[in-house]
Amino acid sequence: MRKNLALLLLIVFSSPALREAAPRRQRTLREAADRIGILVGAAVDPRHFSEPDYAGTLAREFNMVEPENAMKWALTEPAPGQFDFDPGDAVVSFAEARQMKVRGHNLLWYEHNPKWLESGQFTPAELHGVMQRHITTVAGHYAGHVFAWDVVNEAFDSSGVLRHSIWFDQPGIGLADKGTAYIEQAFRWAHEADPKALLFYNDYAAEGINAKSDAIYAMVKDFKQRGVPIDGVGLQMHLSLGDVDKLSSLDANISRLAALGLQVQITELDVGLPITSDGQPRDPADTQRQADLYALVARTCVTSPACTAFQTWGFADKYSWIPGFTHGARGAGLPFDTQYQPKPAFEGVLNAFRSANRRSNPTR
Ligand code: XIL
């Protein structure tokens, strides 16, 4: 009798139909993301890797990391021609030991540059050489370890006009009257240095359809048509609760980029809430509104095969750039709280991943 019961249980629980009907519920973002073939990432600071909860949460919940600052120019080339790869290498070692991918950020930006560069009074010919050396050396150093780069960050202003910058026209690298040619040059050098890396243009406030995202679309369309090596567009997504309207055209924006054969990655998501002086949301109900916004972005991403990564800027409210950036006005913007406990935003993303019906391979 007991033998029969055991046999019956064996048959029932090994039946494919039953397993299909009751799939195991993934408990972590990483498990749920792995099931649907999407990358789920967080921006990290290697100075916190020695904190067990920081490292443990990262390895459990994410299959990708991106250095929040460690690969920016000010850290990688603090003096002309002198490169420091220690902070960035720490991110790579952490990730590789935990089978996580590394997204590189960034090779060229108008901000976060060292003083020697900002106030160097270089001629265009000199700057051309400085830019080439930097991109070639940094992308070359990380070849085989960084699977994707934000090659150029934030080149357009909100009206879709190219920002003034040392690279473009102050004085520029010799292409000041040629629009996006300096950006194209950056992509070409990055591709030469690491032909296997996926190359992205990354910007903020260009999530839905607006003047800035139109300008980005026009640029990447032109790049694709002329064979400039570009693989995707990063949508930063530094959001506030009021941004929900702007997201109504997120899907359309992702679709038009996908139609060009480009990937889209959500690169820097956070949803800053109005906070009290001790960092708590002013209105406790905002935490659920925040979760709804996270879920909306996650659902939109997972329903588009072109959206290959979903990443937050940090992951726990203990360390987030938002309170500093907003002078204490906003914060509590991430899916884990200051004690690394999951918030409703975490559940929102997890549920969006769990209920997604896709299987794609984001990396080549
Ligand atoms: C921010 C970092 O989070 C801060 O620690 C740093 O002081 C400034 O840069 N867009 C980007 C990121 O592409 O690199 C920025 O990161 C946030 C806005």
The number of folded domains in the chain is: 1
Please list the active-site residues.
154, 268
Residue 165 burial (C-beta neighbours within 10 Å; 0-12, 13-18, 19+)? middle
Quote the pLDDT of residue 11.
Answer: 53
| DSSP helix, strand, coil percent of the chain (3-state; round to 5) | 45, 20, 40
pLDDT at residue 19 tops 50: no
Ligand 1 pocket by Cβ (under 6 Å): 68-69, 112, 153, 204, 236, 268, 321
Assess if residue 2 is contained within a domain: no
Distance 3 CA to ligand 1 centre (A): 63
Please tell me the pTM assigned to this model. 0.93
The answer to whether residue 359 sits within a structural domain is no
Would residue 6 count as lying in a domain? Answer: no
* Residue 25: band (very low, low, confident or very high) from pLDDT cuts 50, 70, 90: confident
Atom of ligand 1 nearest to the CA of 238: 18
Residue 363 in domain: no
**317 found inside a domain:** yes
What digits encode the pLDDT tens for the residues 221-236?
999 999 999 999 999 9
Q: Kindly tell me if the per-residue pLDDT of 9 is higher than 80.
A: no
d(CA 145, CA 95): 10
- The answer, yes or no, to whether residue 308 has pLDDT greater than 50, is yes
pLDDT tens track for 114-164: 999 999 999 999 999 999 999 999 999 999 999 999 999 999 999 999 999
Question: For residue 3, what pLDDT is reported?
Answer: 58
Give the separation between CA 171 and CA 168, rounded to whole angstroms.
7
Most informative mutation of 203, 238, 239, 268 for ligand 1 (most atoms within 8 A of CB): 268
The answer to whether residue 231 sits within a structural domain is: yes
Ligand 1: which residue has its CA nearest to atom 16? Answer: 68
Range of the domain at 169: 26-354
- The band of 359, judged by pLDDT with boundaries at 50, 70 and 90, is confident
pLDDT band at 361 (very low <50, low <70, confident <90, very high): low
* pLDDT tens column, 100-115: 999 999 999 999 999 9
Question: For residue 102, which of 19, 44, 17 has the smallest C-alpha distance?
Answer: 44
Dist. CA 311 → ligand 1 center (Å): 14
Residue 81 lies in a domain: yes
Which CATH number does the domain housing residue 150 bear? 3.20.20.80
At 362 the pLDDT is: 53
Residue at 10 is within a domain: no
Peptide bond into 124 cis (omega under 30): no
Least confident of 12-26, 200-214, 301-315: 12-26
